[in-house]
């Protein structure tokens, strides 16, 4: 009888251990991910890119992904603090939203995968000579670069009488300068006089915009984060002066421009989120991933400002909501 009881106890213990082992295996199969998001500044375009990224990645990974989302308030030093915090927490992946955030992330780690978004030109941002579309190492992402020659051509189409064009941008944003140089070269080849008007931060933007208005028949602004955060100041100077602004993206145009050739930053963020899913879920090697682009450019115009300035927009343009 004692022997029978002993055998039964052994069987019960074996079943219990098997059950415990099964439970442990099941929980180990469920991977949880933490993604750090460093966004340079709060404005319409970057906000849309972050939302698109989170929506797409959540659709792919469900509640197994958690986001640590932080905003640097347009301070490059704050970007460095944020991404260094992500490194200390050993997050599984970083989203660097805008060029200064990408530069800070690249300086902070060579191990954690980094995806950039709202970055115009990765070769310029990361000082890569002869950039071929693949950053390599632990970095890839998406670009918000629209066809700059077509943006310049839009200015000529809508404002054929413009003889002097001011190019307004923040000098601390490398990709803003890149866009301005390309547009300037195109316009000057068409016989249009151009002059650069740069400011170092938002404190100078009113004075520099006033100088640009005094010089210009029209102003071009690229996809510039400081401009995007200061469209009210620019519109408050340019509209009363009757100087129209061609903008590099829709968010800026909605605040101070007459027209733009722009991508959807929400869709750009979604594209970045799908890249993140391929890295986290499928184990894709980020070092071989090409920088991706959104090819769906749209001609859009700001009806309120166009009406105020008496500018007629031809067919083929969509009014910004």
Lowest-pLDDT choice from 5-14, 115-124, 146-155: 5-14
Q: Domain coordinates of the chain in residue numbers?
A: 33-144+264-290, 148-262+298-319
Average pLDDT, the chain: 91
- Please name the CATH architecture into which domain 33-144+264-290 falls: 3-Layer(aba) Sandwich (3.40)
The mean pLDDT of 146-156, rounded to a whole number, is 95
pLDDT at 105 exceeding the cut of 50: yes
Instruction: Kindly tell me if the per-residue pLDDT of 24 is higher than 60.
Output: no
State the SS3 of 132-167.
CCCCECCEEEEECCCCHHHHHHHHHHHCCCCCEEEE
pLDDT tens per residue across span 245-297: 999 999 999 999 999 998 999 999 999 999 999 999 999 999 999 999 998 99
What's the pTM value of the predicted model, to 2 decimals?
0.82
Unique residue bearing structure tokens 């879920």? 281
Fold assignment, 148-262+298-319? Rossmann fold (3.40.50)
Residue 3 pLDDT:
44
pLDDT of residue 23: 31
Whether the CB-CB separation of 234 and 245 falls below 8 Å is answered with yes
Confidence (pLDDT) at 12: 39
Q: Do 148-262+298-319 and 33-144+264-290 have the same topology in CATH?
A: yes
- Over residues 13-26, the mean pLDDT reads 37
**Going by C-beta distance under 8 Å and a sequence separation of 6 or more, which residues neighbour residue 9?**
none
pLDDT confidence bin for 31, thresholds 50/70/90 = confident
**In angstroms, rounded to a whole number, what is the distance separating the alpha carbons of residues 266 and 121?**
19
Long-range CB contact pairs, 312-319, < 8 A, 24+? 313/158, 313/258, 313/259, 314/157, 314/158, 317/259
Residue 49 has pLDDT above 50, yes or no: yes
The predicted structure's pLDDT at residue 273: 98
């Amino acid at each position: 009888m004692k022997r029978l009881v002993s055998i039964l106890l052994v069987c019960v213990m074996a079943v219990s251990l098997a059950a415990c082992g099964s439970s442990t295996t099941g929980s180990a199969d469920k991977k949880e991910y933490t993604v750090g998001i460093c966004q340079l500044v709060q404005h319409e375009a970057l906000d849309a890119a972050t939302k698109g990224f989170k929506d797409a990645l959540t659709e792919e990974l469900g509640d197994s992904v958690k986001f640590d989302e932080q905003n640097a308030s347009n301070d490059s030093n704050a970007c460095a603090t944020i991404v260094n915090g992500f490194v200390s927490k050993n997050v599984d992946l970083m989203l660097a939203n805008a060029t200064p955030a990408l530069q800070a992330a690249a300086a902070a780690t060579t191990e954690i995968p980094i995806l950039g978004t709202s970055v115009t030109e990765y070769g310029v941002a990361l000082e890569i000579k002869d950039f071929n579309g693949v950053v390599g190492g632990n970095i890839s992402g998406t670009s918000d670069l629209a066809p700059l020659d077509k943006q310049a051509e839009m200015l000529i189409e809508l404002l054929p009488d413009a003889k002097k064009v001011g190019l307004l941008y923040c000098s601390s944003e490398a990709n803003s300068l890149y866009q301005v140089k390309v547009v300037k070269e195109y316009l000057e080849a068409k016989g249009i006089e151009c002059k650069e008007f740069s400011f170092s931060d938002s404190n100078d933007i009113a004075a520099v915009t006033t100088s640009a208005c005094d010089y210009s028949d029209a102003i071009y602004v690229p996809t510039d984060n400081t401009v995007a955060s200061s469209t009210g100041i620019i519109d408050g100077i340019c509209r009363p002066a009757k100087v129209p602004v061609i903008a590099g993206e829709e968010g800026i145009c909605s605040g101070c421009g007459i027209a733009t050739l722009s991508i959807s930053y929400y869709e750009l963020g979604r594209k970045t989120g799908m890249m993140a899913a391929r890295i986290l879920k499928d184990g894709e090697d980020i070092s071989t991933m090409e920088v991706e682009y959104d090819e769906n450019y749209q001609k859009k115009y700001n009806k309120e400002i166009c009406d105020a300035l008496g500018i007629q927009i031809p067919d083929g343009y969509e009014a910004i909501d």
